[in-house]
Structure 1
Amino acid sequence: MELSAEKRDAENTNNDDNQQAAFDSADGNSREAEEQRERQARDLKAGLHPLKYKFVFWYTRRTPGVRTQTSYEDNIKKIVDFSTVEGFWVCYCYLARPSSLPSPTDLHLFKEGIRPLWEDSANCNGGKWIIRFKKVVSGRFWEDLVLALVGDQLDYGENICGAVLSIRFNEDIVSIWNRNASDHQAVMALRDSIKRHLKLPHSYVMEYKPHDASLRDNSSYRNTWLRG
Structure 2
Amino acid sequence: MHRAPGSKILNYESAMKKIATFGSVEDFWAVYSHLRRPHDLPHVSDYHLFKQGVRPVWEDPANIDGGKWIVRLKKGLASRYWENLVMAVIGDQFDVGSEICGVVLSIRGSEDILSIWNQSANEGRINLKIRDTMKRVLNLPVDTIMEYKTHNDALKDNSSFRNTDVFR
**TM-score normalised to structure 1 length:** 0.71
Report SS of the residue matched to 2:23.
strand
**2:51, 2:101 within 8 Å by CA — same for their partners in 1?**
yes
Equivalent residue in structure 1 for 2:52, among 87, 103, 112: 112
Offset, 1:226? 4.1
- Tell me, in whole angstroms, the C-alpha distance in 1 between the residues paired with 2:92 and 2:23: 12
- Tell me, in whole angstroms, the C-alpha distance in 2 between the residues paired with 1:137 and 1:126: 27
> Is 1:181 aligned with 2:124?
no
1:130 equivalent in structure 2: 70
Deviations 1:58-117 (A, max 9, x none): 0101327xx64x511111111001111210111000000001000100100000000000
- Tell me, in whole angstroms, the C-alpha distance in 2 between the residues paired with 1:215 and 1:112: 23
Offset, 1:203? 3.0
Offset, 1:196? 1.1
**Identity of matched residues, %:** 50
Aligned length: 168
Larger Rg: 1
Q: Residue 103 of structure 2 aligns to which amino acid in structure 1?
A: A
Q: Residue 126 of structure 2 aligns to which amino acid in structure 1?
A: A
2:156 equivalent in structure 1: 216
Q: Residue 107 of structure 1 aligns to which amino acid in structure 2?
A: Y
* More helix as a share of residues: 1
Q: Which runs of 5+ in 2 are unaligned?
A: none
- Tell me, in whole angstroms, the C-alpha distance in 2 between the residues paired with 1:107 and 1:157: 23
**1:131, 1:205 within 8 Å by CA — same for their partners in 2?**
yes
Q: Residue 63 of structure 2 aligns to which amino acid in structure 1?
A: N
Offset, 1:152? 0.9
- Tell me, in whole angstroms, the C-alpha distance in 1 between the residues paired with 2:160 and 2:76: 22
Report SS of the residue matched to 1:118.
coil
Equivalent residue in structure 1 for 2:40, among 100, 115, 137: 100
Report SS of the residue matched to 1:107.
strand
**2:94, 2:129 within 8 Å by CA — same for their partners in 1?**
no
1:156 equivalent in structure 2: 96
Report SS of the residue matched to 1:82.
coil
**1:209, 1:226 within 8 Å by CA — same for their partners in 2?**
no
- Tell me, in whole angstroms, the C-alpha distance in 1 between the residues paired with 2:42 and 2:97: 31
Q: Residue 162 of structure 1 aligns to which amino acid in structure 2?
A: G
1:11 equivalent in structure 2: none
Report SS of the residue matched to 1:222.
coil
Q: Residue 94 of structure 2 aligns to which amino acid in structure 1?
A: L
- Tell me, in whole angstroms, the C-alpha distance in 2 between the residues paired with 1:226 and 1:156: 22
2:133 equivalent in structure 1: 193
2:107 equivalent in structure 1: 167
Over 6 Å off, 4+ runs? none
Q: Superposition pairs for residues 65-76 of structure 1, below 5 Å?
A: 68=9, 71-76=11-16
Report SS of the residue matched to 1:162.
strand
Deviates more, 1:172-181 or 1:192-201: 192-201
Q: Residue 123 of structure 1 aligns to which amino acid in structure 2?
A: N
